[in-house]
Structure 1
Amino acid sequence: MSLILTYILADDDEIYREYTLQQLNSVPGLQCLSVCENALITREQLQHHQPDLLVLDVEMPDLTGIQLAKSIKQLPFTIFITSHPNYAADAFELDAVDYLVKPVQTERLLRAIDKVRVLAGIKANTSAAEAFQQKDEESFFIKDKNAFLRIAYTDVLYAESLGDFVNIFLQNGEKKIALVSMKNLEQQLPQQIFIRISRTHLINRQKVTAVENDFVHIGKMQLPIGKTYAETIINSIVGNQAIKRFI
């Protein structure tokens, strides 16, 4: 039996609101709890309902979608929609599952909902105790479907926060999802190997290929350094290993 996902839709633009609602109504396994025309109404509805998913417009009067998300202590899985791609960084700092640009293509919306289904399925079928287990000084285990998958520290490039989950990106190009918060992951991994560079990302120090004031490079991947982390990242990663002009 497939998992039914409940959702709340919020958008102040009536045309886009109706358009998105029609798209969502055509997707099997979704149940609408409320359709809201501004963030304040949405906040009130979130206090009365506990949806699995929040489909949230960014640009709304009085209170933006970003501001609303920051005001909610326990945010459901969230898909942001917007007319302006430059808000993406702010959205992902809030552990958004996805970020869609209007007019949202149906196939793109379906991909975002599929991500939510995967996360909801993991959450429903995995206990916190078995989701992540540190094994030894070289590896850890995560629950992957019906098996426990062993991952060596040396195979991890970086981890990305998704609220109660993390995406773990591996050296072979694969991505694994674990039901553990970034905070708990950081506490369980060895600090001499892994370091937090933002609210969203934790990286393997040994995989860093370059460091700038605002970004860390891991191969071709460029990850932003959070403002509150910036002062310590270069010293922590580079330290005294840089070749000096004079000694």
Structure 2
Amino acid sequence: MTLSYIIADDDIIYRELMLQHLNTMPELVCLAVCDNAMEVRKKMQEQPADLLILDVEMPGLSGIDLVQSLAEQPMIIFISSHSSYAVDAFNVDAIDFLVKPSPLPRIMRAVNKALHLHELKKNTHPDEGFKPVDDNAFFIKDKGSFLKIVYSQVMYIESLGDFVDIHLEDGTKKIALVNMKSLEQQLPASLFLRISRNFMINKHKLTAVDSNNVVLGKIQLPVGKTYVNSVLQAVLGNNIIKRHI
């Protein structure tokens, strides 16, 4: 199975270095090499790619602005010299974020994730990606078989566009072909709570909460601005201790 990609970076030196690394992976097929986002838009209209590898900061249209402008979003890996862009990148469902300069093993890890997602989508019927079982568990399609996951094993769930990463309490994670909106409708609201566009948590794993973050043991996740009131209400209800009566 091959994966087609377009790479865009206005830094020619880093762009050529990335291409050298990517050329070592026979599963990848390069459709275009661009130095700006508008060129990527044009290439995507001519021949859509499975994966876009985009610098965040490019003249004119940024990589993030480009992704937000696309009617059909492929898988996205962002690259940047500034790690501060990571939050913005994952807010548009990027599957990974690389900080320049990224060593070859880190690049390969990101691309292998894209290959795995591509294979999962090709080999999984949409109705098979996620299947609720009962009040205690669900199944996901995993390497040709169905894997049962008990609700109590789940710490939190992270959006990857058409996919989600299910983070388990043992520190591992599983990928499922289901989007966050569909998952939110199928998981029991008594157990799971959407805290942002990107994250859903198991309420039983929550150890602290405020208007900015929720804490699950050693894990801290941001609360989306539009979700603050619903999160506090769902977690605290009317049990908030008021300073003044």
Cross-structure match for 1:188: 186
Q: Structure 1 vs Structure 2: percent identity of aligned residues?
A: 53
Cross-structure match for 2:203: 205
Cross-structure match for 2:6: 8
Match of 2:175, SS?
Answer: strand
In structure 2, distance between residues paired with 1:155 and 1:203: 12
Is 1:21 matched up with 2:25? no
Cross-structure match for 1:75: 73
Paired letter, 1:43? R
Post-superposition Cα deviations, 1:49-93, rounded to whole Å, max 9, x if no partner, equal: 121111000001111001111111321111101111100000011
Name segments (4+ residues, structure 1) moved above 4 Å: 242-247
Cross-structure match for 2:215: 217
Match of 2:114, SS?
Answer: helix
In structure 1, distance between residues paired with 2:65 and 2:48: 19
Cross-structure match for 2:56: 58
Deviation for aligned residue 1:34 = 0.5
Post-superposition Cα deviations, 1:104-147, rounded to whole Å, max 9, x if no partner, equal: 21111011111111111111111111111111122111111122
Is 1:155 matched up with 2:153? yes
In structure 2, distance between residues paired with 1:73 and 1:59: 21
2:100 to 99, 102, 118: 102
1:240 to 235, 238, 244: 238
TM-score, normalisation: structure 2: 0.95
In structure 2, distance between residues paired with 1:216 and 1:149: 28
Paired letter, 2:153? D
Q: Which runs of 5+ in 2 are unaligned?
A: none
In structure 2, distance between residues paired with 1:110 and 1:174: 19
TM-score, normalisation: structure 1: 0.94
Paired letter, 1:70? Q
Match of 1:216, SS?
Answer: strand
Q: What is the 5 A alignment of 1:41-52?
A: 41-52=39-50
Q: Which moved more, 1:198-207 or 1:144-153?
A: 144-153
Paired letter, 2:57? E
Cross-structure match for 2:131: 133
Cross-structure match for 1:118: 116
Is 1:88 matched up with 2:73? no
Q: Which moved more, 1:65-74 or 1:54-63?
A: 65-74
Paired letter, 1:15? I
Please, what is the CA RMSD of the aligned residues?
1.6
Deviation for aligned residue 1:246 = 8.9
Paired residues, what number? Answer: 245
In structure 2, distance between residues paired with 1:241 and 1:144: 41
1:228 to 223, 226, 229: 226
